[in-house]
Structure 1
């Protein structure tokens, strides 16, 4: 159940975006050149992230299914608002391909998506920071690792065989509080719902992919709890493929047979756990730089529209993008 604070934040999110839609859109388009010039002055880290999310290098044409900026689908309202926040700076007639929701494969044409599979041939998936209200909610954690419960916790929907396999391996272990809080969960897997704050009372939190990425990964890594998970196979704006095992998280075997061994090790060597937690926290901090996040989002769209031959590039901005 959402807290009052979280509900208020959601109302503010919608109110702010509705007001942006009501405002004359020409006001935003007149600011594009200035915002691009500011983005051009960004550091190398911004440029690297931009070209990681948008890997496109060659010219292409939008498909016949591409939509105009002034006709973006709004059924998934948070996806719509997260895209429109930056697309509104461009001409309303520009067209783009997109896939909202959980995307398992790679589109046939360059398209904006929330997530993509982690493999070399995923360049047509241009990642945007979609559904960020949900996926980038990373509350502060005031409990030190050593002050937490010396146990493992997990809750979630059994929408992936990996999750059922994990519960089969872990639910009989005395140090594990794991299960599904969903009403349709089989009785042997059922556990009561836990809030994020309740999860954060535990030293070890497991992150497991569901339909695509694991929603809980960001707030776990931003906490003082230790993240345990198998190597990720999907990535979002969080750039999951850049996470390093035993640096940012503790890797688990596909059959989870090593769970007890990993927990026993970090119970014996808590400073090793705290080193990983510190690296995870540092990884998360870059996503709190709002100026950089906005610059990357705007440049990702700009690069798409230039390569699709819908706008002519500014020489200086393009030189910055292409390095």
Structure 2
């Protein structure tokens, strides 16, 4: 979705009176009563993964964090704001939140963010989805791809700079820095899918490309993951969902060679990664989980009363 279309859709949704949505909250929450046990378990599991608050608290100003009511800043033309409104519109405009709508590599308790360090307690919502949740249709079988690895990214962080410097002369890696001031290096996702391996390196927080790589028939190569988003990167298992390399990248060619000679490993990773993607493809489920994440936030901040069947979902 282009930024212009995103803005048009986002602004159009703001033209509908909020009361239209707040009156639907009870019906939205009641949907959980009609779910099959396995579906309910999955939603409960994800809800409490994104929001692991289990104690009552008061929403108060925090240094470096935006403290606002839901009615504030609705006209900010950002992917974060529009994605937040998709689920927050069902709640009272006077409800208060702490939020940090930028790349986030720091733990901020009781704060709504797009990303967080793995095993931290930020409350995660599906934000900046236009950029982060881009899944692809890949018609090229792994066996028909190039026996090489490709990387394209903005190389501003030290880990990416180090990687580029270390392998700039390698004939097994097609590398490019997409910052034009450094010479450019753009390569479309479709072109990158011609390679068996796509390198994924975290930046200010998560690596944006990991999600679309995992929707393909190529395999991601990455060091240990440190950050996560709505995609629950913390639940990905090395060498089951991606190929793990050392933090100093020193074993990358050994890892590639092992995969090229191990058909079972390749088949398992592609099957696992494609299966993992499926849980994010149902719009109604994604919306319901987002609403529940906020409902839990407002419940534990003493701003919202909920029926017991919803409160029971908050118990791990």
Q: 1:224 aligns with which of 213, 217, 220?
A: 217
Q: After TM superposition, list the pairs within 5 Å mapping 1:84-99 onto structure 2.
A: 84-99=85-100
Q: After TM superposition, list the pairs within 5 Å mapping 1:36-51 onto structure 2.
A: 36-42=29-35, 43-51=40-48
Mark the CA change 1:320 to 1:40 in structure 2 (over 3 Å): closer, same or farther.
farther
Mark the CA change 1:161 to 1:217 in structure 2 (over 3 Å): closer, same or farther.
same
For residue 279 of structure 1, what is the aligned residue in structure 2? 272
TM-aligned CA deviation for residue 269 of structure 1: 2.3
For 1:313 and 1:33, locate their aligned partners in 2 and report how far apart those are by CA, in whole Å. 9
For 1:170 and 1:74, locate their aligned partners in 2 and report how far apart those are by CA, in whole Å. 44
Q: 1:149 aligns with which of 142, 146, 151?
A: 146
1:258 aligns with 2:251: yes
For residue 194 of structure 2, what is the aligned residue in structure 1? 201
Mark the CA change 1:310 to 1:118 in structure 2 (over 3 Å): closer, same or farther.
same
1:102 aligns with 2:103: yes
For 2:265 and 2:313, locate their aligned partners in 1 and report how far apart those are by CA, in whole Å. 40
For residue 160 of structure 1, what is the aligned residue in structure 2? 157
- The unaligned stretches of length 5 or more in structure 1 are 1-5
TM-aligned CA deviation for residue 39 of structure 1: 3.2
For 1:220 and 1:103, locate their aligned partners in 2 and report how far apart those are by CA, in whole Å. 22
For residue 54 of structure 2, what is the aligned residue in structure 1? 57
For residue 322 of structure 1, what is the aligned residue in structure 2? 315
TM-aligned CA deviation for residue 317 of structure 1: 1.4
- The unaligned stretches of length 5 or more in structure 2 are none
For 2:26 and 2:200, locate their aligned partners in 1 and report how far apart those are by CA, in whole Å. 41
Q: After TM superposition, list the pairs within 5 Å mapping 1:165-244 onto structure 2.
A: 165-185=162-182, 190=183, 192-244=185-237
TM-score, normalised to structure 1, is 0.91
Give 3-state SS (helix, strand or coil) of 1:151's partner.
strand
For 2:246 and 2:4, locate their aligned partners in 1 and report how far apart those are by CA, in whole Å. 41
Give 3-state SS (helix, strand or coil) of 1:103's partner.
coil
Report the more deviating stretch, 142-151 or 270-279.
270-279
For 2:33 and 2:238, locate their aligned partners in 1 and report how far apart those are by CA, in whole Å. 33
Is the CA contact 1:169–1:257 (under 8 Å) kept in the aligned structure 2?
no
Report the more deviating stretch, 212-221 or 274-283.
274-283
Give 3-state SS (helix, strand or coil) of 1:184's partner.
helix
Give 3-state SS (helix, strand or coil) of 1:193's partner.
coil
TM-score, normalised to structure 2, is 0.93
TM-aligned CA deviation for residue 73 of structure 1: 5.7
Give 3-state SS (helix, strand or coil) of 2:220's partner.
strand
For 2:296 and 2:162, locate their aligned partners in 1 and report how far apart those are by CA, in whole Å. 42
Give 3-state SS (helix, strand or coil) of 2:293's partner.
helix
1:134 aligns with 2:131: yes
Q: May I ask how many residue pairs the two structures share in their alignment?
A: 308
| C-alpha RMSD over aligned residues | 1.6
